Structure 1
Amino acid sequence: MDIENRELRYFVAVAEELHFGRAARRLNMAQPPLSRAIRLLERRIGVTLLERTSREVRLTTAGEVLLAEGRGALAAAAAAVLRTQRAAATTRRLVLALKPGGDAGLLRSILDRYAATPDAVPVELAFSAGERAQMVRDGRADLALLHRPQNDLTGLDCDDLHTQGQVVVLPESHRLAGRATVSMADLSGETLPRWPEARPGVTGHPISDVDQLMQLILLGRMVAVLPESIRDRLPPGVVCRPITDAAPATLVIAWPRESTSRQVAAFVAASSPR
């Protein structure tokens, strides 16, 4: 049974707000037609999505499933429109999302190799510390430089570019700063950062950028496990020590799993020559 994007938008708004009045204001519509639309949707698919009482609105198990699937479907539809519009633009270009200093020194040679390929188009660099993967998923970027296992690569294909060990970054006064090496067990009880693009299940203090992270480390509020290339960018008062048992950090080039773009394929080939 087909469900219109409009119906999904209505349901997702109600499911996220768990309040018909707030959802109606968010959708810029009156509450009665919104309530009727949700009841009609439930009748059409033969499933109760919301439990309503005079005091609250709650999602049923089926409603939780439709909320997750509906968000994905709406995001995919929006990304399809954006990619189509970009493909029709008079001047074709590739957008590469990356964080400052996050290319392991490889970007210059990658760009040179890609520029030498037939049908190469201009490459725009979109710097972001927190939403590179999402930019590729929603169509704002064609490719991204990400790290595995740190980043959430759901919905993306990727090729490995560079693998390196990891270090723990500490204030000079930290109890572990005098060690030659540390283990992951040594970090038990320490506050660690959680980046916006962290894979599911990762916990920690939310961090938006490296400058914020370094300030918190200097203040003794946390420590961080980072690729060893961070050594060259540590501020005074901060040190790093190798971690003997941390999983290596791998820089990857990532692109939409469903991509059929020749330019994307050419850039990937230029990024990881074999």
Structure 2
Amino acid sequence: MESRALRYFVAVAEERNFTRAAARLGIAGPALSRAIRNLEAELGVRLFERSTRTVELTEPGAVLLTHGRPALEALDAAARRAVRASAPHRSLLLAVKADTDGGLLEDILAAAAAEPDAEPVAVRLCGWREHTRLLRTGEADAALMFEPYDPAGIDVDVVAVEPRVAALPADHPLAGASRVRLADLGISAEDVTERAERDIGELAVHDLAQLLALVGLGATVTVLPRSVAARYPRQAVAYVPIEDAPPAALVIAWPEHSRSRGVAALVRAATAVAESHGMGTAADASR
């Protein structure tokens, strides 16, 4: 199977429409239809059920889409990494979302520079859940991020674990408590890890600073890792430890087939720095 045919198939599968897929690919509709028929003939399976109004994946088509996307990402990543490897002053790219590094980023960069196999490291700032996509597409060599994350195509080491805190309006009845429980907040254990990210989406705000502004106004409460909360002091927001919340895990991730000594040095530096800050084990999260 040629990669071009696979790209054509993925475009149709994602668009569920041959006309939109052809426009996305920049080719004529009849040429796209012909390419898909040829691919089906080559594989000996029907990939789509077509009607005058809809295009739906068959079971073989769904399987091909599941495995085809990572294959195309791997090809694109290989090309990007090859181009980057030719740069005269190449740096490792570390993907990080601003203020979600456990407060360790500066120390990690300094420690990594002192490693025997060190390579220069540049920080690539990214958004929520962007980290693993950047790793898979070759736009980053490593990523520092909190759970949850998409594990496909990556390896990780846990760098640090830390407690979670509730972000409450300063006039909330529980704002002065020494600790709270999830039930006090009306939050389930299953909801904890994605709470802030989900709140940002549901409240139609763009980032954590805006979310905390709504917390201060009494519009919501949310849950954050303790180190993230420390970066966002607000007079109108109270941060209260949550007694029964699972700890937040900060991980460093890299592409699963990476053999880069520079990335390995960065991973060693990250775990060593976390341990030096007393953040390396689940027991530390209760302190």
TM-score calculated relative to the size of structure 2? 0.83
Aligned residues: 265
Deviation (angstroms), 1:194: 2.7
**Aligned-pair distance for 1:45?**
0.9
For the residue of structure 2 that corresponds to 1:182, the secondary structure is coil
Task: Extract unaligned runs of 5+ from structure 1.
Answer: 197-202
Q: Does 1:100 align with 2:103?
A: no
Equivalent AA in structure 2 for residue 272 of structure 1: T
Residues in 2 aligned to 1:91 and 1:146: alpha-carbon distance in whole angstroms: 26
The amino acid of 2:242's aligned partner reads I
Alignment correspondent of 2:89:
91
1:203-233 Cα offsets, whole Å, 9 max, x none, are: 9667642123213323434322111123422
Tell me the C-alpha RMSD between the 2 structures.
Answer: 2.5
CA 1:60–1:206 in structure 2 vs 1: closer, same or farther (change >3 Å)? farther
- Mapped pair 1:51 → 2:54: no
Decide which moves more: 120-129 or 248-257.
120-129
In structure 2, stretches of 5+ residues that fail to align are 276-287
Per-residue CA distance 1:5-63 (angstroms, 9 max, x = gap): 11111111111111111111111111111111111111111111111112221111222
One-letter amino acid matched to 1:193: A
Structure 1 position 225 matched with structure 2 position 228: no
Number of the residue aligned with 1:75: 73
What is the aligned partner in structure 2 of residue 234 from structure 1?
233
Deviations 1:241-260 (A, max 9, x none): 21111110122221111101
**Alpha-carbon spacing, 1:208–1:139, altered in 2? closer, same or farther (3 Å):** farther
Per-residue deviation at 1:178?
A: 4.8
Residue 256, structure 1, aligned to residue 259, structure 2: no
Deviations 1:113-136 (A, max 9, x none): 222233532211112232122222
> Where does residue 170 of structure 2 map in the other structure?
172
Percent of pairs with identical residues: 47
Residue 191 of structure 2 corresponds to residue 193 of structure 1: no
Question: Match for residue 20 of structure 1?
Answer: 18
2:167 alignment partner, SS class:
strand
* Bigger proportion of residues as helix: 2
Greater CA drift, 102-111 or 88-97 = 102-111
Could you say if the C-alpha distance between residues 23 and 108 of structure 1 is closer, same or farther in structure 2, counting changes exceeding 3 Å?
Answer: closer
SS of equivalent residue, structure 1 residue 272: helix
Equivalents in 1 of 2:181, 2:204: separation in Å? 23
Cα pair distance change 1:195/1:4, threshold 3 Å: farther
Structure 1 pair 206–15 and aligned structure 2 pair: CA distance change class (3 A): farther
Match of 2:278 in 1: none
Shift of 1:270: 2.1
Aligned residue identity for 1:159:
D
TM-score normalised by structure 1 residue count: 0.86
Taking the aligned partners of 1:204 and 1:98, their CA distance within structure 2 comes to: 23
Describe the SS at the equivalent of 1:111. helix
Residue 194 of structure 1 aligns with an amino acid whose one-letter code is E
2:122 & 2:266 partners in 1: Cα distance?
Answer: 12
Question: Does 1:265 find its partner at 2:268?
Answer: no
> In structure 2, what residue type is equivalent to 1:28?
G
CA deviation string 1:180-222 (max 9, x = no partner): 32222333379943369xxxxxx96676421232133234343
* Contact map agreement 1:195 1:208 (CA 8 A) in 2: no
* 3-state SS of paired residue (2:8): helix
**Alpha carbons 1:11, 1:38 under 8 Å: kept:** yes
Which amino acid in 1 is paired with 2:240?
R
Q: Report the 3-state secondary structure (helix = DSSP H, G, I; strand = E; otherwise coil) of the residue aligned with 2:70.
A: helix
User: Secondary structure of 1:161's partner?
Assistant: strand
Report Cα offsets for 1:63-120 as digits up to 9, x if no partner: 2222222211111111111112112222221111112222333233322222223353
Amino acid at match of 2:111: R
In 2 relative to 1, CA 21–108 (structure 1 residues): closer, same or farther, beyond 3 Å? Answer: closer
- Pair 1:65–1:166, CA change in 2 (3 A): same
CA distance in structure 2 between the partners assigned to 1:216 and 1:77 by the alignment = 43
